[in-house]
Copies of this chain bind each other. A is one copy, B any other.
């Protein structure tokens, strides 16, 4: 699906409604009323064989009798009849359809079969399908309520997608008078169109400046990441804000989700949103607050916030919250404090927060807000007002609105009071100033905005191209493993796979006799390990078949000793020779790298410091493949133990280069072989000296 083709869905000139009902309170009646009485100026053709007219508009017995081809058909009839109608619509070359009807995948196997039929019709005929099992959509510019939601919202810049119908109606109700929408789409079962299609459409929609979505599940992480990054990189960035539920174990159970590691799945979504440059809200309130701030304000240039207040205590609370939200509360520039000092009472504070004292009237606020906004060291301003006896809430509201109008920086108001501040709050809201009751909430929303400004300063380079990769060799291994009905790679297959993809594995050579062993050891250099090579011996150590830390000059002698030992313990084993293997490097830092296949999403890559850091402290970072170098960098820097890797407390840091390279090679490997469901490199021994980075052990499984 290409997004430009969604115009006939979202901006139709004419609409047929199959299932238009005369029964009050029914879905088919609600939609008809919304289409006909909502202000939509296009043509509407109700289809109902048992009625001649509905709400003063002629009814048609079926789609064919309409006589012209509508741009969109809305289908609100029992599920079983939907495929026939959809086929008919496609046959009439109607370009788009909304399937409101429920009774598909969500009800079980029979429903799922019906849904596949719909998908098949859509794919084979090209008809665009929204739903099934959805509320429809709203287009406020066209006054088009193509849904059974009770009313059209105010027109505004937010394009909203919701996987939950109930959340859609709740949000419409909650945001009345506070948020304006361009489009509001109930995505339903997302059979052929999902968030990515709608995001691509909204990214180009001139009515939309801010994109929001609520999702319980998503698919195809790489596509979503590419899309999100593109939208961010566009000069006219449209911020994307997401609310994703199913974060925790209970949440997952409530959304009836799968068996994977649960914390893991939420961490995967966290990584996905970060990687796609989508802001993830923590709660419904934060979600709606952030949309409100984004609707009314530009994205700030940085994280520096000035706070103006008539209540010291609330200033402290706001400053606390700001720091927690990743914002900076720096002192104002000297120029600004020089301006302010003579204009404010002696007891006022011209630090940050600027404390105007409890008796501040609107003139004092006006002076301080102007100064704060004009300070070059300030990226955004929060104005806090509490109702004191001298307070002029309405006049102060007007002062805030006036300063905000053309200043080019976010200006947020906190009117911390109830009835006493109601009128002032209305003034602010009508002037397009985001206003909050509590300082913490203004600050949190602003914190999310500042994250966008941070993201905008970062550029992604193309993903690294590795020319030393032997894909054919791994293909052959995968074929063998599959042919043998296994899911686990053998040690040898794992080694070969990693070698073929240029990972720094321990050097290892086969030697049939003592002479060869000595010469191979010389080639490897330094001390080596000798391991018995025999198909008949699985547990080498138990069979006495492993010798560690053998000096080069001892190899010949030890070879014989090893074979004697094994022959004594396993007289029947056929012995091929030994593997001569480089010893791991002592004193390295041990890292864990891994891959976990997230069904429907993609290959999730993991990095962490070995041992307890990962297992007990859960200090790991995730990203989806494919990785570009900046992704690998961000992964490393997200680790709490990053300072240790960089070299803390006078200890040497490691060379990050080979670690990043391993991550990028890992990404390439799972891109080439998405059938790899699990891969653990544990440990990767790293070092200040790049040439000493080595994989000591690894494990690969495919499906």
Contact = CB atoms under 8 A, between A and B. Distances in A.
Interface of A: 25, 30, 107, 148, 150, 163-167, 169-170, 173-177, 214, 216, 243, 245-251, 253-255, 282-285, 310-317, 319-324, 328-329, 347, 351-353, 358, 386-389, 416-421, 437-441, 611-612, 615-617, 619, 640-641, 643-644, 648-649
B418 A175 contact: yes
Given A107-B347, A148-B389, A615-B648, A419 B248 contact: no
A387 B176 CA distance: 13
Given A164-B311, A314-B166, A641-B617, A285 B612 contact: no
Q: How many copies of the chain does the oligomer comprise? A: 2
Contacts of A148: 389
**9 closest residue pairs by CB, A with B:** A166-B311, A164-B313, A251-B320, A250-B329, A248-B323, A173-B417, A250-B319, A283-B440, A170-B386
Given A616-B644, A644-B612, A388 B173 contact: no
B421 A254 contact: no
A183 to B, nearest CB: 19
Q: Among A170, A253, A282, A387, which residue has the most Cβ atoms of chain B within 10 A?
A: A170
B170 A322 contact: no
A322 B253 CA distance: 13
Contacts of A612: 641, 644, 648-649
Contacts of A643: 616
B245 A313 contact: yes
A338 B174 CA distance: 36
Given A313-B163, A389-B25, A612-B648, A320 B173 contact: no
Contact of A284 (B285, B319, B440): B440
A617 B392 CA distance: 48
Q: Among A175, A246, A619, which residue has the most Cβ atoms of chain B within 10 A?
A: A246
A283 B164 contact: no
Given A246-B320, A250-B323, A323-B249, A164 B216 contact: no
10 contacts: A164-B312, A164-B313, A166-B388, A169-B386, A173-B419, A173-B420, A245-B317, A248-B320, A285-B437, A612-B648
Nearest to A164: B313
A434 to B, nearest CB: 16
Contacts of A387: 169-170, 173
A17 to B, nearest CB: 17
A309 to B, nearest CB: 8
A321 B169 CA distance: 21
Contact of A167 (B216, B313, B615): B313
Contacts of A316: 216, 245-246, 251, 254-255
